[in-house]
Amino acid sequence: MKRTIKMIYTGEKIKGQGVLSATKEQINLIETKADEHFNVLVNKRGKHDILHLHTVNPKSYFGAKYSKKPVVTHVHFLPDTLEGSIKLPRLFMGMFKKYVLSIYRNSDHIVVVNPSFIEELVKFNIKEERITYIPNFVNEKVFYKYDKARRNEVRKEFNVKEDEFVVVGVGQVQQRKGVVDFVETAKRLPHVRFIWAGGFSFGKITDGYKELKEIMDNPPKNVEFVGILDREKMTDFYNMSDLLFMPSFNELFPMAILESCSCENPIFVRDLKLFEPVLLDGYYRASDVDGFVETIDKLSKDKDYYNIAVRHALSVKEFYSRENVKNLWIDYYNGLSLIRRKKQAKIDKKNAKKQAKIDKKNARNKKNKEKPPF
């Protein structure tokens, strides 16, 4: 009998979020295979066997706490990564972090998009056996490499010359995304074009809003901020460029990296520990602006060095294929217990008491049998 999975998520009104892209890809993947493996309800009421929460909205909070069915929560970010994304008074930030953690703790199962999250969640007293790593992925039919003629067409749309070396950044304009270093790197490489796609998804509560707004309004000549692009336009954006540059100080598992790799674009990131287990050797890295400048300058001038970066991107593309991740989800959902963790704990406790009584009775009977008849 097929299991019914109820999916809950919000965030349609907030554009430019990688979490929303990852959520839609995962839901689409399961829905595509629904006739074969599962029944799927998305943001709808109905009988279900598993409740899958993708975002930390109030529905997710009450679902995690009171659902009678087992709850899976998809962890796309950790509470500490909120720092550098949004700026709230310390009291409210603390309350929001506790709110997020309460959803994670009240869930029966946790799915993380980066294996480095596991250690951090364990520190929050979430048992490791409840946590499973299943990576993000992208649809290769949506994100793919264009031929030369089409690439030149989209370059014209972005006012980019055929021979220009174009470096792009993707993501919300936030302090943690390293936008300041992106611009500083561009200043030192006037022969390279730098374009950033993304905006202030959280408006004026974005951390560092005033400074970043000033940079966006008065960028260097070789830097352009094109704002939040529709997802359908992002394939053009990646194909128009030569390199994805992500100087983030703190990251999760950026969908932009997978999307860019699917378009066979090289990736260059800040040297963060969390990238190691998910990107393997499929990327270039540096620790500061000096390193960023040196690497990008070499990539723009050395074709052999650049081609190695392209091969790295292809290896990432192959590893995170849709087919591979699909099989991970099928096995995961089919392997889940259909009893809530707290309920199962009560059942186990009750069974343990019964077993203790049986063991005690058996021990007493054995002792009586061993007594001499006189």
Query: pLDDT below 70 — which residues of the chain?
Result: 11-18, 33-35, 81-88, 201-203, 205-207, 282, 370-374
**DSSP of 112-140:** ESSTHHHHHHHHTT--GGGEEE------T
Q: Would 126 be classed as within a structural domain?
A: yes
Does residue 103 form part of some domain? yes
Same domain, 266 and 337: no
User: Residue 122 has what pLDDT?
Assistant: 94
Give the domain CATH number at 175: 3.40.50.2000
For residue 168, what are the β-bridge partners?
195, 244
State percent of the chain over pLDDT 70.
92
Residues 166 and 130 in one domain: no
Contact 212, 41 (CB under 8 A): no
Same domain, 124 and 173: no
Kindly state the DSSP code that residue 79 receives in the 8-state scheme. Answer: G
Q: Which residues have C-beta within 8 Å of that of residue 267, sequence separation ≥ 6? A: 243, 244, 246, 257, 260, 261, 279, 282, 283, 284, 309, 312, 313, 316
Residues with Cβ < 8 Å from 93, sequence gap 6 or more?
A: 82, 83
Residues 311, 171 share a domain: yes
Identify whether residues 55 and 66 lie together within a single domain. Answer: yes
pLDDT of residue 15: 52
pLDDT of 15-36, one tens digit each?
545 577 788 888 888 887 666 7
Report if residue 354 sits inside a domain. Answer: no
Range of the domain at 197: 148-320
Do 122 and 157 lie in one domain? The reply is no
Is there a domain that residue 193 lies in? yes
CB atoms within 10 A of CB 338: 10
- Are residues 169 and 38 both part of a single domain? no
- 98, 173: one domain: no
Check whether residue 107 and residue 173 sit in a common domain: no
Tell me whether residue 370 is in a domain.
no
The angle at the Cα of 171, spanning 166 to 175, to the nearest 5 degrees, equals 105
Say if CB 8 and CB 51 are below 8 A apart.
Answer: yes
Flag whether the pTM goes above 0.95.
no
Are residues 131 and 9 part of one domain? yes
- Residue 143 domain-assigned (yes or no): no
3-state secondary structure of 164: coil
Residue 372: the pLDDT is 65
Residue 133's closest CA among 124, 142, 122?
Answer: 122
pLDDT at position 33 is 64
Number of separate domains in the chain: 2
**Residue 358 resides in a domain:** no
Judge whether 367 lies within some domain. no
How high is the pLDDT of residue 13? 47
Same domain, 160 and 293: yes
36 & 124 share domain:
yes
pLDDT tens readout for residues 295-323: 999 999 999 999 999 998 988 888 887 88
